[in-house]
Structure 1
Amino acid sequence: MIKKYVIERRSWIMLFILQQLFIIFVSFFDSTIPFQSTLYLVFLSMILFSIFFVIRYNKETKFYRSLEERDNNLDLTSIAGPESPFEKIIENSMTNQTELLKQTASHNLMTLEQEKDDLLSWIHEVKTPLTAMHLMIDRLDDETMKMHLTYEWLRIHLLLDQQLHQRRIPFIENDLYIENTELETIIFDEIKTLQSWCIQKGIGFDIDLEVPVVLSDAKWLAFILRQLLTNAVKYSKSSDIMINSYLRADQTILEVKDGGHGIDPKDLPRIFDKGFTSTTMHQDTAATGMGLYLAKKSAQSLLIQIHVKSTLGEGTTFTLIFPQRNEFVNITSV
Structure 2
Amino acid sequence: MIKTYLIERRSWILLFICQQLLILFVAYMDPTIPLQSILYMVFLSMIVFTVFLMIRYHTETRFYKSLEERDNNLDLTSIASPESPFEKIIDTSMTNQIELLKRTASRNQIALEEEKDDLLSWIHEVKTPLTAMHLMIDRLDDDMMKTHLTYEWLRIHLLLDQQLHQRRIPFIENDLYIEHTDLETIIFNEIRTLQSWCIQKGIGFDIQLEAAEVLSDAKWLAFILRQLLTNAVKYSPASDIIVRSYQRADQTLVEVQDSGRGIDPKDLPRIFDKGFTSTAMHQDHAATGMGLYLAHKAAQSLLIHIQVQSVVGEGTTFTLTFPQKNEFVRITGV
Is TM more than 0.5 here?
A: yes
SS in 1 for 2:119: helix
The equivalent of 1:234 in structure 2 is 234
Q: Does 1:175 align with 2:175?
A: yes
Distance in 2, Cα, partners of 1:329 & 1:45: 70
Q: Residues 49 and 238 (structure 1 numbering): CA distance in 2 closer, same or farther, change over 3 Å?
A: same
Residue 25 of structure 1 and its aligned partner are, at CA, apart by 4.2
Q: Residues 152 and 15 (structure 1 numbering): CA distance in 2 closer, same or farther, change over 3 Å?
A: same
The equivalent of 1:290 in structure 2 is 290
Distance in 1, Cα, partners of 2:132 & 2:316: 36
The equivalent of 1:310 in structure 2 is 310
Q: Residues 234 and 56 (structure 1 numbering): CA distance in 2 closer, same or farther, change over 3 Å?
A: same
Distance in 2, Cα, partners of 1:249 & 1:89: 64
SS in 1 for 2:276: coil
Q: Residues 54 and 203 (structure 1 numbering): CA distance in 2 closer, same or farther, change over 3 Å?
A: same
TM-score w.r.t. the length of structure 1 is 0.85
Distance in 1, Cα, partners of 2:19 & 2:327: 66
Distance in 1, Cα, partners of 2:121 & 2:206: 38
Percent identity over the alignment is: 80
The equivalent of 1:119 in structure 2 is 119
Distance in 2, Cα, partners of 1:309 & 1:49: 71
Distance in 2, Cα, partners of 1:251 & 1:43: 79
The equivalent of 1:19 in structure 2 is 19
Q: Does 1:78 align with 2:74?
A: no
Q: Deviations over 1:113-143 (max 9, x none)?
A: 1111111111111111222222333344554
Residue 162 of structure 2 aligns to which amino acid in structure 1?
Q
Q: Does 1:255 align with 2:255?
A: yes
Cα RMSD of the aligned pairs, angstroms, is 3.0
Distance in 2, Cα, partners of 1:325 & 1:25: 86
Q: Give 1:7-86 correspondences, 5 Å limit.
A: 7-28=7-28, 30-86=30-86
Residue 41 of structure 2 aligns to which amino acid in structure 1?
L
Q: Residues 216 and 53 (structure 1 numbering): CA distance in 2 closer, same or farther, change over 3 Å?
A: farther
Q: Which runs of 5+ in 1 are unaligned?
A: none
Distance in 2, Cα, partners of 1:329 & 1:67: 40
Distance in 1, Cα, partners of 2:325 & 2:14: 64
Single out whichever of 50-59 and 229-238 deviates more from structure 2.
50-59
Q: Residues 18 and 136 (structure 1 numbering): CA distance in 2 closer, same or farther, change over 3 Å?
A: same
Q: Does 1:206 align with 2:212?
A: no
Residue 112 of structure 2 aligns to which amino acid in structure 1?
L
Single out whichever of 178-187 and 228-237 deviates more from structure 2.
178-187
SS in 2 for 1:281: coil
Q: Residues 101 and 239 (structure 1 numbering): CA distance in 2 closer, same or farther, change over 3 Å?
A: same
Residue 33 of structure 1 and its aligned partner are, at CA, apart by 4.3
Residue 261 of structure 1 and its aligned partner are, at CA, apart by 0.8
Single out whichever of 261-270 and 230-239 deviates more from structure 2.
261-270
Q: Residues 57 and 261 (structure 1 numbering): CA distance in 2 closer, same or farther, change over 3 Å?
A: same
Residue 227 of structure 1 and its aligned partner are, at CA, apart by 1.1
Residue 153 of structure 1 aligns to which amino acid in structure 2?
W
The equivalent of 2:98 in structure 1 is 98
Distance in 2, Cα, partners of 1:237 & 1:100: 56
Distance in 1, Cα, partners of 2:133 & 2:329: 44
Distance in 2, Cα, partners of 1:9 & 1:132: 77
Distance in 2, Cα, partners of 1:71 & 1:154: 49
Residue 205 of structure 1 and its aligned partner are, at CA, apart by 2.7
Q: Does 1:190 align with 2:190?
A: yes
Distance in 2, Cα, partners of 1:244 & 1:3: 65
The equivalent of 1:157 in structure 2 is 157
